[in-house]
Amino acid sequence: MPAITVLPHPEYCPQGARLQAPTGTSLCEALLDNGIEIEHACEMSCACTTCHVVVRQGFESLNPPSEEEEDMLDKAWGLEPQSRLSCQARLGTRDVTIEIPRYSINHARERH
């Protein structure tokens, strides 16, 4: 079972975390199943960018992004070449290290 190392995030995972999930599990599902409450405003339907993560290690072990995911990622805050929507990125057989960006584009959570 591959391991997911989550780098520290001030809100979701201040100390960072290391967890395991079965191959084929989405990163978003794995995070939520392990108490890391990453945003997922579209309920994991690839219709927003709130679950955006940056894969710091193991990017090539994930399933390839679909064209729909790539189009949606263009709208993500802090987009990097190793960015993925965690609801669409499925674990392969190797370990991954991810970083949850500090901000997301989620109008429902903005404090106006």
| pLDDT tens column, 52-80 | 999 999 999 999 999 999 999 999 988 99
Instruction: Kindly list the distances between the CA atom of residue 41 and the CA atoms of 15, 34, 45, in Å, as whole numbers in the listed order.
Output: 24, 18, 9
pTM over 0.85: yes
CA–CA gap between residue 52 and residue 100 (Å, rounded): 7
The confidence score (pLDDT) of residue 60 equals 97
pLDDT in tens, 8-50: 999 999 999 999 999 999 999 999 999 999 999 899 999 999 9
Alpha carbons 85 and 81: distance in angstroms, whole number: 12
- Give the domains, in start order, of the chain with CATH numbers: 3-99 (3.10.20.30)
Q: What is the C-alpha separation between 14 and 49, in angstroms, rounded?
A: 21
- Per-residue pLDDT, 23: 98
Helix (H) or strand (E) holding 96: strand 96-99
